[in-house]
């Protein structure tokens, strides 16, 4: 399992860590998406004045067969929001607010959200079982 991203990790550091975890070379990734190898190399070494667009990051993530979490990590490291966040203003508001919280409060918020999601999934699973058993009767 790859190490967790640190707050100070740059886009290039995140890109390199994920690429290496996938066992891919810079040339292979760049070739897959038709990107100039030198540009990809500069992205990974943080040698560019601007960060890549969301579209570029999505191409890179697809070429490296990134998980949704890895893709989100790349987008976040580049200061880009995910497609989902762009479509849901309440998520943007949540993240703007959460970014201002101290680490301990943020951790508490994440735990609460994870617990709520777990309860929601369990509830849906129980409902499916009830629906299945009522159909079988």
Distant-in-sequence, close-in-space partners of 126: CB < 8 Å, separation ≥ 6: none
Residues 53 and 120 in one domain: no
- What total number of domains does the chain contain? 2
pLDDT at 17: 96
Is residue 4 domain-resident? no
Residues 110 and 83 in one domain: no
pLDDT at 137: 60
Distant-in-sequence, close-in-space partners of 14: CB < 8 Å, separation ≥ 6: 5, 73, 74, 77
Is residue 5 domain-resident? no
Domain that holds residue 53: 11-89
DSSP-based three-state secondary structure for 50:
coil
Residues 72 and 129 in one domain: no
Is residue 73 domain-resident? yes
CA distance 34 to 102: 42
Q: How many residues are listed for the chain in this entry?
A: 137
Is residue 77 domain-resident? yes
Is residue 94 domain-resident? no
The pLDDT profile of the chain, 137 residues, written as one tens digit per residue, is 444 544 568 999 999 999 999 999 999 999 999 999 999 999 999 999 889 999 999 999 999 999 988 998 998 888 887 667 778 888 878 877 887 888 898 899 889 989 998 999 999 888 888 888 877 66
Q: Is the pTM of this model over 0.75?
A: no
pLDDT at 71: 92
Residues 57 and 117 in one domain: no
Task: Say if residues 59 and 15 touch (Cβ distance below 8 Å).
Answer: no
DSSP assigned state of 96? H
Is residue 129 domain-resident? yes
pLDDT at 82: 65
């Amino acid at each position: 399992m790859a190490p967790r991203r640190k707050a100070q990790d740059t886009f290039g550091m995140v890109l390199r860590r994920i690429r290496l975890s996938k066992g891919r070379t810079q040339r292979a990734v760049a070739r897959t998406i038709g990107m100039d190898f030198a540009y990809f190399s500069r992205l990974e070494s943080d040698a560019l004045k601007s960060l890549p667009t969301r579209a570029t990051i999505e191409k890179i993530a697809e070429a490296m067969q990134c998980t949704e979490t890895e893709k989100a990590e790349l987008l976040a490291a580049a200061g880009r929001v995910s497609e989902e966040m762009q479509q849901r203003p309440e998520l943007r508001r949540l993240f703007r607010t959460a970014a201002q919280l101290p680490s301990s409060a943020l951790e508490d918020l994440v735990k609460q959200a994870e617990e709520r999601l777990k309860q929601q999934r369990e509830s849906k699973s129980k409902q499916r079982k009830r629906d299945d058993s009522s159909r079988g009767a």
